Amino acid sequence: MLDGEEHWNAVLAEILLSRKIGALRVKLVGDLISVTAQLDLAARSRRPVVALDKVIDYGEQIGPLEGGYQAGWQAVQAAPDRERRAAELDRLAATVTAAIEAVADFARQPGVEVELHRFDVPER
């Protein structure tokens, strides 16, 4: 953060604080933050379960997915009307869901137990 880089959760925080999204998407973003935090706690514990080489793998696997939801959020913000924004919000939800699944799968490989809060609440 001192070198001018944006915090990795800045886009997720922006999404959460936006009036443009619905409750289901807020819950998805919450799940992504939660599963990432669970993995981070496991990696930083006294007996880390994630080896250093796996941290590099994490960046290679998850980085493009983070780019996906960041681009999805930019598309939502750029949408000219409600109809187009609704379509972009659906795509955003799909990219966040893909990131959740990837982080959870990555965490489970070395045996980290992750808890996800699947919210199948219809929206709109």
Over residues 20-38, the mean pLDDT reads 87
Residue 14 falls inside a structural domain: no
Model-level pTM? 0.80
**Mapping DSSP to helix (H, G, I), strand (E, B) and coil, where does residue 34 land?**
helix
What is the number of alpha carbons within 13 Å of residue 34 lying toward its C-beta? 14
Residue 4 falls inside a structural domain: no
Least confident span in 2-16, 36-50, 51-65:
2-16
Q: What is the domain range of residue 54?
A: 23-108
Residue 31 falls inside a structural domain: yes
How far, rounded to the nearest angstrom, does the alpha carbon of residue 56 sit from its chain's CA centroid?
18
Residue 11 falls inside a structural domain: no
Residue 120 falls inside a structural domain: no
Query: How many angstroms separate the Cα of 48 from the Cα of each of 41, 72, 109, 123?
Result: 9, 33, 13, 39
Whole-number Å distance between alpha carbons of 103 and 55: 12
Residue 86 falls inside a structural domain: yes
Query: How many domains are there within the chain?
Result: 1
Residue 98 falls inside a structural domain: yes
Residue 6 falls inside a structural domain: no
pLDDT digits (tens, 9 = 90+) for 86-122: 999 999 999 999 999 999 998 888 888 888 876 554 4
pLDDT digits (tens, 9 = 90+) for 33-56: 888 888 888 777 766 666 666 777
